[in-house]
Structure 1
Amino acid sequence: MTHPVTPATFLGLPAAAPDTFSSADVVIFGAPDATPHVPGVASHAARAPLALRESTQQIARDPSRWDFDQDGPLIPEGLRAMDLGDLPTNPATPQENRSLITSTTASILKAGAVPLLLGGDDSVPIPFFGGFEGAAPLTILQIDAHLDWRDERDGLKHTFSSTMRRASEMPWVERIIQVGQRGTGGSRERDLADAQAWGVTLFSAATVRRYGVEPVVDQIPPGSHCIVTLDCDGLDPSVIPAVLIPQPGGLGYLDIVELLHGVTQRARIVGFDLVELVPDADVRGLGVLAASRILCVALGGMARQRSAMRLADP
């Protein structure tokens, strides 16, 4: 089963082709599948890229309208962003999926643009991170209810249980900050010990509730290159109910907005992915709406960074 390229683009942005990447600041692309937890079965989040694009079609009709979450227009002036559509992934070919995600990410980076990935489940970020091989040392900021440090699960090492474990094995990843952990997931005590031994900085959801997001931002080195990877279950299910395993007590929408603004001001965002959105589990479209709004804020932040870079290096 393959997934066709979707006709609508995110926010009505121009459609992309590989030979147009060099004219973009940001290239959006979807990956419905990477490594299914059940071999051969499509991801529970495979429909998310389509749902995210569809959710922005109405607001895309007037991109100059004021966005209070960005304190600016919905699409910042001068934004050079485009949408490649969905990669032709197939749940029956996980290795090929991973290779395609990695090579697409690498080609976007080679062209000088920032890749923004619409997942797919939480196995999708593994090959996404892999596309940054040879880049400057990276800080990964993960927002997630779960630790994702299992070495393997049911004999598989690249599924959604192992995302951050695999990231930690990539030499170009020098710092990992994980935010939003709560409740139970697939990790064991030894997985937590391994994460701490590697040097991960953890901010549980309870910690964020008590101290806010400023301590998280303070852990990001000024001027560093940062990938933000956002699992939708990092937010409270009252904000995004459309997830596979809801956990009460998650971050709020404005926590994420504030966090993204803080990261944008402190570091250079070189990649962004959003995963684990399950449209079939949504309530009145609220989860898809919140997720698409987060993407708008992230896109705006990256656009302003790129604009500042052009001004600094005319």
Structure 2
Amino acid sequence: MFYNNSSLFHPVTFFLIGIPGMEEVHVWISLPFCSFYLVALLGNATILLVIKAEKTLREPMFYFLAILSSVDLALSTTSVPRIPGIFWFDAHEINFGACVAQMFLIHVFTGMEAEVLLAMAFDRYVAISAPLHYTTILTPQVLMGIGLYILIFPVLVILPMIYLIYRLPFCQARIIAHSYCEHMGIAKLSCGNIRINAVYGLFVVSVFLMYLVLIVISYVYILHAVFRLPSQEARLKALSTCGSHIAVLCVFYIPSVFSFLTHRFGHNIPHYIHILVANLYLIIPPSLNPIIYGVRTKQIREQVLHIFIKK
């Protein structure tokens, strides 16, 4: 899309550097990235197959786990495969439209993951605090509504970013000091006013952090309910189940919050640390989530072992 002034245009391509400052070790960095991606593909596909094949796994918890695995597959596939192309084959150029599409999908799937984690926290709270009313509260209609919210709301929130990027004029700069396209990374290349982009970006981050606050509040209530259970065995079982959820939360939120804060306030932290952490929170959670649930969730673990023993 060209403007009347020939110096202002949407460039045909952008140039993704990768991880700036670590170009000499890009090949070595790509090895764990690819390993994590393969683990994410295998692990999440296994979780989905087990839940689909085993009819006893029809509780709301496994419904949310299936959504989480689907989102993890989509998130890692959107972000990771291009990284080896940059690191191994110097495939740094990306089409403007493809870059905006990648930006949109990464932000949407990240938002979906945060919402699934919040839904899983709500599920555990109901299961522990009101077990007798569990099926009457989390009815199929409620689950369907939560599922639609997880799918639709992030799309509606992130969709304006496409317009905010396309409205910007770009001059000569087209080098993105990153390994994938994200909103402010693209906006900062513009020679126009990006204040609206920055404000909207902070709004999206605030929604993301609001989910974290709600999750923390949920687990405070969950732990309070757990320690009120009369049986020690029931308390240990509940804590074991919640332990897997808390582990997933830590794996997802700690690097993502660190990335958000350092991107805006960590001016003394080397830039390659920003980019490396930004890659890690897209790569590590999708690969570790199925491992955590495979080990910590008894039903999943038993079904996976049954499949391998049967074979």
The normalised TM-score by structure 1 is 0.29
The structure that has the greater radius of gyration is: 2
The normalised TM-score by structure 2 is 0.29
Of structures 1 and 2, the one with the larger relative CO (CA 8 A, separation 6+) is 2
Relative to its length, the structure with more helix (as a share) is: 2
